[in-house]
Amino acid sequence: MQDFFDPQWGSATLGVRAAEPRTANREHSAALSLTSSYVFESAAQAAAVFSGAEPGYIYSRFTNPTTEAFEKRLAAMEGGASCVATASGMAAVLTLCLSLLRQGDHIVSSRGLFGSTISLFNNVLSRFGIGVSYVDQTDLAAWEQAIQANTRLLFAETPTNPLVEIADIAALADIAHRHGALLCVDNCFLTPVLQQPLRLGADFVIHSATKYLDGQGRCIGGAIVGDAERVGKDVFGFMRTAGPCLSPFNAWVFLKGLETLSVRMKAHCENAHGLAEWLSEQASVRRVFYPGLASHPQHELARRQQSGFGGVLAFEVEGGREAAWRVIDATRLISITANLGDTRTTITHPATTTHARISAEARAAAGIDEGLLRIAVGLEDLKDLTADLARSLHL
Ligand SMILES: *Cc1c(COP(=O)(O)O)cnc(C)c1O
């Protein structure tokens, strides 16, 4: 591993240069260590490595050079001391919660979370005696009021999926720390190129690497970034024992993805901004949700806390589910899939896909209308995206 890098480098440089996994063969592009285990020179060396007295790889459930390079590079980009890669974004949420929380603990969470995270909290963690209270992402007083004596974790995703509501990360970190709790931010939508929650006071960053870190829709993976104690020891220790680890192959894909992340995110932002402006001018579109529009209620906060507005937007059409499905079915270029963070633009109807498993009341409370559509804007030419949507919107 070529370990030298300057943490002061910009995120484009860190994405290309931090933690290059170079072996004795001096590869210029990262080598892939596709091995489950490692051999030793002697019984004594095996004992020394197992005991931690001598550094070295043992078994790829918890130590692999390719996975380690991805972890170090992402940690450098997020400004964190440690990173643990996981099998998926959901495995990252689960791993963080099981590493940090115990029976009787309580989470305060934004209501506008990724659907599976809500299911995980409600249907899985609840069975182990971990409670959760949901609040409006943007209502700081509600976050504070929901805190109980046993609250250990505040959990936010910003911008939210699909309504792109912004959480004030510095303010939430302050609330958490005043009450002896910790703040975790799901940074999937913006990536460290556009937002660095740890620098704003958050304790943990969660990623679904499946999205922009990969960037081409190939692999499933995730990561937790934070300090050397809680992530480097507690989360790593849980990973070592419980094993929801990232495949080294997927780590290699993500490592290469980080090299182009900066240019890709800028292009996603530019396309999304253009599309949001175009949608705002269409008669059949009732509302457009994009933090880059001056009409977004937290436009100023987004400008302050992010260095770009991201590639995801949502909009509401007149006519509810039927009209929304009609828009989707008339597209020819845009992919009908709930995935995001891909080079390819995708469109989805949250009420019947990503948010179908939560109750109708919870959906309504989260503001997910039947006429709402989410677009994760890819890297095609903007004129071709607007042409595709023009046909479907003007049916
Ligand atoms: C996709 C996603 C996740 C879950 O990640 P997987 O890799 O699909 O397990 C979590 N949070 C957000 C914001 C996501 O978009």
Note whether 227 and 147 are same-domain residues: yes
Name the DSSP class of 308: S
Strand partners of residue 77? none
Note whether 312 and 229 are same-domain residues: no
What angle (nearest 5°) sits at the alpha carbon of residue 202, between those of residues 248 and 182?
A: 100
Computed over every residue of the chain, the mean pLDDT equals 95
In a mutational test of the pocket of ligand 1, which residue from 114, 160, 346 has the highest number of ligand atoms less than 8 Å from its CB? 114
Q: Whose CA is nearest to atom 11 of ligand 1?
A: 114
> Whole-structure pTM over 0.75, yes or no?
yes
Ligand 1 centroid to Cα of residue 26, in Å, is: 35
pLDDT at 236 over 70: yes
Q: ω before 197 within 30° of 0 (cis)?
A: no
Residue 376 is predicted with a pLDDT of: 97
Residue 268 lies in a domain: yes
| β strands within 137-215, DSSP E | 151-157, 182-186, 204-208
Residue 129 lies in a domain: yes
Confidence of residue 115 (pLDDT cuts 50, 70, 90): confident
Domain's final residue, options 229, 257, 285: 257
Please name the residue that has the structure tokens 């305060």.
Answer: 108
pLDDT at 130 over 80: yes
Residue 324 is predicted with a pLDDT of: 96
Residue 311 is predicted with a pLDDT of: 98
Q: How far is 139 from 135, CA to CA, in rounded Å?
A: 7
Residue 5 lies in a domain: no
Note whether 21 and 108 are same-domain residues: yes
Note whether 265 and 252 are same-domain residues: no
Query: What is the domain-level CATH number for residue 119?
Result: 3.40.640.10
Note whether 243 and 282 are same-domain residues: no
Note whether 91 and 232 are same-domain residues: yes
Residues 6+ apart with CB under 8 A from 296: 164, 289, 290, 302
The larger pLDDT score, comparing residue 368 to residue 309, is at: 309
Residues 6+ apart with CB under 8 A from 66: 21, 30, 31, 32, 33, 34, 248, 249, 251, 252, 255
Angstrom distances, CA of residue 223 to CA of 18, 78, 205, 245, 280: 17, 11, 8, 10, 35
Residue 5 is predicted with a pLDDT of: 84
Question: Considering only CA atoms, which of 288, 335, 340, 343 is closest in space to residue 163?
Answer: 288
Domain that holds residue 122: 11-257
Q: How far is 287 from 284, CA to CA, in rounded Å?
A: 9
Token digits for 206? 């969660």
Residue 1 is predicted with a pLDDT of: 60
State the total domains in the chain. 2
Residue 395 is predicted with a pLDDT of: 58
- Gyration radius from the chain CA atoms: 21
Domain's final residue, options 257, 287, 315: 257
pLDDT at 2 over 80: no
CB within 6 Å of ligand 1 — which residues?
Answer: 88-90, 114, 116-117, 157, 161, 186, 188, 208, 210-211, 220, 222
Note whether 163 and 30 are same-domain residues: yes
Q: Whose CA is nearest to atom 1 of ligand 1?
A: 208
Q: Whose CA is nearest to atom 8 of ligand 1?
A: 89
Residue 210 CA: which ligand 1 atom is closest?
A: 7
Residue 110 lies in a domain: yes
Give the percent of the chain with pLDDT over 90.
88
Mean pLDDT over 147-157 rounds to: 98
pLDDT digits (tens, 9 = 90+) for 342-377: 999 999 999 999 888 778 888 887 788 999 999 999
Q: How far is 319 from 9, CA to CA, in rounded Å?
A: 49
Ligand 1 centroid to Cα of residue 395, in Å, is: 33
pLDDT at 46 over 70: yes
Residue 339 CA: which ligand 1 atom is closest?
A: 1
Question: Considering only CA atoms, which of 341, 80, 73 is closest in space to residue 205?
Answer: 80
What angle (nearest 5°) sits at the alpha carbon of residue 196, between those of residues 69 and 166?
A: 135
Helix H or strand E segment including 280: helix 248-280
Q: How far is 55 from 238, CA to CA, in rounded Å?
A: 20
Q: % helix / strand / coil in the chain, to the nearest 5?
A: 40, 15, 40
Pairing of strands 204-208, 335-336: unpaired
Ligand 1 centroid to Cα of residue 40, in Å, is: 38
Residue 225 lies in a domain: yes
Residue 1 lies in a domain: no
pLDDT at 96 over 90: yes
Question: Considering only CA atoms, which of 252, 262, 163 is closest in space to residue 212?
Answer: 262
Domain's final residue, options 257, 284, 301: 257
Mean pLDDT over 126-143 rounds to: 96
Residues across the chain? 395
Mean pLDDT over 132-159 rounds to: 97
Note whether 153 and 180 are same-domain residues: yes
Question: b/e per residue, 185-202, with b = 16+ CB within 10 A?
Answer: bbbbbbbbbbbbbbebbb
Ligand 1 centroid to Cα of residue 208, in Å, is: 5
Ligand 1 centroid to Cα of residue 90, in Å, is: 6
Neighbours of 3 (CB within 10 A): 11
The half-sphere exposure of 365 on its side-chain side, counting CA atoms within 13 A, is 13
Strand partners of residue 193? none
Note whether 245 and 274 are same-domain residues: no
pLDDT at 339 over 70: yes
Note whether 67 and 54 are same-domain residues: yes
Note whether 249 and 272 are same-domain residues: no
pLDDT at 214 over 70: yes
Query: What is the domain-level CATH number for residue 360?
Result: 3.90.1150.10
pLDDT at 392 over 90: no
Contact 2, 20 (CB under 8 A): yes
Residue 93 CA: which ligand 1 atom is closest?
A: 10
Q: What are the backbone angles phi and psi of residue 252, rounded to the nearest 5°?
A: -65, -40
Note whether 196 and 286 are same-domain residues: no
Residue 3 lies in a domain: no
Ligand 1 centroid to Cα of residue 206, in Å, is: 9
Residue 113 CA: which ligand 1 atom is closest?
A: 13
Mean pLDDT over 209-220 rounds to: 97
Residue 4 lies in a domain: no
